[in-house]
Chain A
Amino acid sequence: MSAADRIARALFGFYMVAFFLYLFAPLAIMGIATFNTSRFPTVTPWRGTTLQWFDALWSDSGMWQSLWTSFIVAFFVVITVLPIGTAAALVLTSLHARARSFMYAVMVSPLLTPGVVIGIATLVLWRQLGVGGGVFLIVVAQASFIICYVMLMITARLQRFDPTQEEAALGLGASKFMVFRRVLLPFLKPALIAAGFLAVLQSIENYNTTLFVRGFDTPLTVYIATKVRTGLTPAVNALALIMIAITVFGAIAYEIARRRGADGGGVAVQL
């Protein structure tokens, strides 16, 4: 190995360490700060180890209220985006090439629109109709772009669909509705589950759009951001730690399920 190679190797090793440190150190520090008695979340100086911030989180009624709001929003977002996203994918795939690429551009345009703009546009339209910010508008605004993700995932799945299945069912006397219900929907089921999962995550994590249409309702992300400005304590870190733990377990479980399925029709969650 030449000297240049050794230097390159060392540089690359340094890069790898730095990359993962950059990725995980902030999260690790945020998590560890939960156990420090210090009122402002930090790890330096360490004032003593405690679990008191979990208690503080547990008895924080505002947090529970905002968590509940986020769940309600996520629930309505999912039941809105799955049917519309599926319909959009089916309409899109039934178009001819030219019309299809135009429609495609129209349908992905919300993904290329800044989140704050989506929130503002929704807000001004509904004010004109006499509806102010609140859970309803949060659902409408979030759904308008989460539908894009559903549409993309369903479209990807549809590309692997074998239309002769439908023809066979029709030939055996099934109605068109029955073919949709018994052939196409079951085929789409894995993609629908993955899309629903993604929609929940997107909904709960959204901040930029939600901020403008929330009215007097406070979903979890807004609650956390407000806490940071008005009185951050490690109770918020406890919440973050719990969310990280759920995420890690979820990601690992998903990976295990995916490997066990070994391409048994599973759809990779792409973003």
Chain B
Amino acid sequence: MSELYRRFGGGLGTLFLALVGVWLAGMVLAPNVMMIDYALRPNLPPSQLGGPEDVYSLDNILYLANEGVHRAIFFKTVWASALVAFITFLVCYPMAFWLAQHATVNQTAVVLLALTIPFWINEVLRTLAWYILLAFRGPLNAFLLSLGIIDEPVRWYGDGGVLAGMTYAYILFMLFPIYNAIESLDKSQIEAARDLGASTWRIHWRVVIPHAKAGIATGCVFTFMLAAGSYVAPALLGAPGSRWFTEIIYNWFFEGGDWNRGAAYALVLLVLCLAVVLVTLRIARVSLTEVAK
């Protein structure tokens, strides 16, 4: 703090601190505290607010634990998000490795530029592209029918569609951290492993992946968090049988009219994501500083 004042003087120093205070206290901390407050109170009509019924309890969270359908959707969201992270990793790893270790400087520049293009287009449009591709009478079914791979059109909307759309949407969040991590691996380490007789498979398993651990953990954490918190992909590419936890939350707010229960569900989602982030980073021994690079 004294460093700040020494460098910028009293006026500017105070202004900077005030701006940061507005952000962290007013825009980050206060909203989350209020959400917790909402989550722990019952949903009462205005006349009963502050009355004998208006006490803190875990009822809203226990409601989620006891309501079979919502609980099932919650657990499905958790493992499906983990699956999205895993599939995205499988899709990205070979490309990240090739870019970092084999591609020429020009190839890398062109490919990275090409990769960023779908990424600058917003998530709703990317999902729309999949909505069109996967339509019942859409191009993918027409293509597969014409090849004779399928005999009648497949209904892609549902879990499969959501998975495809999400993997697509989060590719770059996985690819860039892994690419950055593998890039710092010295080629001679791979050559040494090869000279010592390691197979390609073993080189990746014992040399490249351990080296890229931090990048892989970062990519997985981001992908998981984005998938679990996504609303647009399940809303557009899902089917009635493939509801996502965020859709339940949305319904509490804008259809069920029970903000307290909605806030409780949102709180559960937040705690889940933070737990996954912290545990994954701890296991991979990555600090938060490295994550946000």
Report which A residues bind B (CB closer than 8 A): 8, 12, 15-16, 19-20, 22-27, 29-30, 33, 40-45, 83-84, 87-88, 90-91, 94-96, 101, 104-118, 120-125, 127-128, 140, 143-144, 147-148, 152, 166, 175-177, 180, 201, 204-208, 211-212, 221, 224-225, 228-229, 232, 236-237, 240, 243-244, 247-248, 250-252, 255, 270-271
Whether A117 lies near B138 (C-beta < 8 A) is: no
Q: What 0/1 pattern do residues 121 to 157 of B give for CB contact below 8 A with A?
A: 1111110111111010111001100000000000000
Residue among B124, B259, B287 with the highest chain A CB neighbour number at 10 A: B124
User: Is B286 an interface residue, CB under 8 A from the partner?
Assistant: no
- Give the residues in chain A near B84, CB-CB below 8 Å: none
User: Is B23 an interface residue, CB under 8 A from the partner?
Assistant: yes
Given A101-B289, A106-B24, A225-B236: A29 and B8 within 8 A (CB)?
Answer: no
- Give the residues in chain B near A252, CB-CB below 8 Å: 113
Whether B270 lies near A108 (C-beta < 8 A) is: no
What are 24 A-to-B residue pairs whose CB atoms are below 8 Å?
A12-B98, A24-B118, A30-B128, A94-B1, A94-B7, A101-B288, A104-B292, A105-B288, A113-B270, A114-B225, A114-B228, A114-B229, A117-B266, A117-B270, A124-B34, A147-B27, A176-B9, A205-B124, A207-B122, A207-B123, A224-B124, A225-B235, A236-B128, A251-B116
Distance to closest chain A CB from B98 (angstroms): 8
Name the one of A127, A175, A251 contacting B120, with C-beta atoms under 8 angstroms.
Answer: A251
Whether A26 lies near B266 (C-beta < 8 A) is: no
Given A106-B24, A114-B229, A247-B120: A29 and B131 within 8 A (CB)?
Answer: no
User: Is B255 an interface residue, CB under 8 A from the partner?
Assistant: no
User: Is B197 an interface residue, CB under 8 A from the partner?
Assistant: no
User: Is B207 an interface residue, CB under 8 A from the partner?
Assistant: no
Whether A23 lies near B249 (C-beta < 8 A) is: no
Distance to closest chain A CB from B224 (angstroms): 10
Whether B292 lies near A108 (C-beta < 8 A) is: yes
Distance to closest chain B CB from A54 (angstroms): 17
Whether A121 lies near B32 (C-beta < 8 A) is: yes
Given contacts A117-B35, A125-B30, 20 further A-B contacts (CB under 8 A): A12-B98, A23-B171, A30-B132, A30-B133, A109-B28, A112-B277, A113-B270, A116-B250, A121-B31, A122-B27, A124-B34, A124-B38, A125-B35, A143-B27, A166-B7, A175-B9, A201-B120, A212-B253, A225-B236, A270-B176
- Give the residues in chain A near B269, CB-CB below 8 Å: 114, 116-117
Name the one of A114, A120, A128, A176 contacting B8, with C-beta atoms under 8 angstroms.
Answer: A176
Q: What 0/1 pattern do residues 270 to 293 of B give for CB contact below 8 A with A?
A: 100110010000000001110111
Closest to A248 in B: B117
Whether A255 lies near B232 (C-beta < 8 A) is: no
Given A42-B139, A124-B31: A116 and B7 within 8 A (CB)?
Answer: no
Decide if the interface of chain B is mainly helix, strand, loop or mixed. Answer: helix
Distance to closest chain A CB from B259 (angstroms): 6
Closest to A156 in B: B293
Whether B113 lies near A42 (C-beta < 8 A) is: no
Name the one of A152, A180, A243 contacting B125, with C-beta atoms under 8 angstroms.
Answer: A243
Given A113-B270, A177-B9: A224 and B128 within 8 A (CB)?
Answer: yes
User: Is B42 an interface residue, CB under 8 A from the partner?
Assistant: no
Whether A144 lies near B139 (C-beta < 8 A) is: no
Distance to closest chain A CB from B214 (angstroms): 15
Whether A23 lies near B94 (C-beta < 8 A) is: no
- Give the residues in chain A near B116, CB-CB below 8 Å: 251
Whether B132 lies near A121 (C-beta < 8 A) is: no
- Give the residues in chain B near A96, CB-CB below 8 Å: 3
Whether A29 lies near B94 (C-beta < 8 A) is: no
Whether A255 lies near B8 (C-beta < 8 A) is: no
Distance to closest chain A CB from B231 (angstroms): 5
User: Is B246 an interface residue, CB under 8 A from the partner?
Assistant: yes
